[in-house]
Amino acid sequence: MQINQMSKSRRALKSYITYPLQAVFVALIYGFFRLLPVSVASAIGSLIGRTIGPRLSVTNRARRNLTTVFPEKSAAEIQAIIIGMWDNLGRTAAEYPHVSNIDTTKSSGPVEVIRGDIFESVQAAGGPCIIFSGHFANWELLPASAAQRGLVTVLVYRAANNPMVDWLFRSRTAHSDASIAPKGAQGARALLRALKEGKTLGILVDQKMNDGIAIPFFGRDAMTAPAIAELALRFDCPVIPAHVVRTKGANFQVRVEEPLLIEKTGNKNADVETIMRQINARIEIWVQQHPEQWLWLHNRWPK
């Protein structure tokens, strides 16, 4: 009885005090950065990220991950990547309020889309498509670039623990004709419906999924969500690799690549594993190219 009462008290504290205070704080920060030019907001975010981030305890996880993946790198090299990661993360957070206003179709704009014609070809074909990526640079610019080239996108996201700030995640769809689907059973139904309607799914696939399947990632098995492979096989749709690279400050490249080669052998489990191995291998390449622009804070591998 006492334990239940304590649990109810904690829930009440979150609902009536903690969550509202968090929501007010987030709204103020969001509004502050929205008032600034994106380049200024990005620079301030960089300063905050580089100053505070490396001092946080979660940085220890990033250091462990980096040491495991790059055992040949010195402590100084690892530290430089960590600082670069926090620089990028701070910039990305500060740029978030501006993503909906960035036109990725302008050749003179801050975003260069390489092989954007692949998106346009998918749009012209009119069928369903899956785009996969990871938490690189400002990853929010990827769905923006796809949607601004005519693809009706559905983004898979993890709902915020605080429901009062979930609006921040939903606001990412303001840039174009797009919607979001939360992870879970309800979101899965939305994804199936979207593919049946010929829409494009955008999925970040570089996080650990406890009930996923073990797929090698930098030489170690990592629990990986198999949904992309299962959906691609079911709907016979292209799977397109794409990721964002920060070139300088608030300037970027969105790098779109040719669809994966998918062969159906009749053995579904083997086909799913083959596709997911391709996906993890592609993410490995991106990480090796710009390790400071990937989010090393994920608990990606089992201990």
State whether 116 and 175 are in the same domain.
yes
State whether 24 and 158 are in the same domain.
no
Domain boundary among 97, 128, 150: 97
Tokens encoding 101: 């206003």
Is residue 302 domain-resident?
Answer: no
Is residue 303 domain-resident?
Answer: no
Task: State yes or no: pLDDT of 6 exceeds 90.
Answer: no
State whether 197 and 221 are in the same domain.
yes
Q: What type of residue sits at position 90?
A: G
174 falls in which pLDDT band (50, 70, 90)?
A: very low
Contact 225, 209 (CB under 8 A): yes
pLDDT at 164: 59
Q: What type of residue sits at position 19?
A: Y
Q: In the predicted model, what is the mean pLDDT of residues 240-246? A: 98
Question: Mean pLDDT, the chain, as a whole number?
Answer: 87
Domain boundary among 65, 81, 97: 97
Task: State yes or no: pLDDT of 228 exceeds 80.
Answer: yes
Total domains in the fold of the chain:
2
State whether 126 and 262 are in the same domain.
yes
Task: Round to whole Å and give the CA distance between 215 and 226.
Answer: 9
Domain that holds residue 82: 2-97
State whether 15 and 124 are in the same domain.
no
- Residue 243 has φ and ψ, to the nearest 5°, of -155, 165
State whether 192 and 58 are in the same domain.
no
Contact 234, 275 (CB under 8 A): no
State whether 280 and 173 are in the same domain.
yes
Please tell me the pTM assigned to this model: 0.88
State whether 87 and 171 are in the same domain.
no
Q: Which residues contact 220 (CB under 8 A, 6 or more apart)?
A: 68, 301
- How large a percentage of the chain has pLDDT more than 70? 83
Task: Round to whole Å and give the CA distance between 138 and 246.
Answer: 7
State whether 260 and 112 are in the same domain.
yes
Sheet arrangement for strand 111-114? 111-114, 251-256, 239-248, 129-133, 200-204, 153-157, 178-182
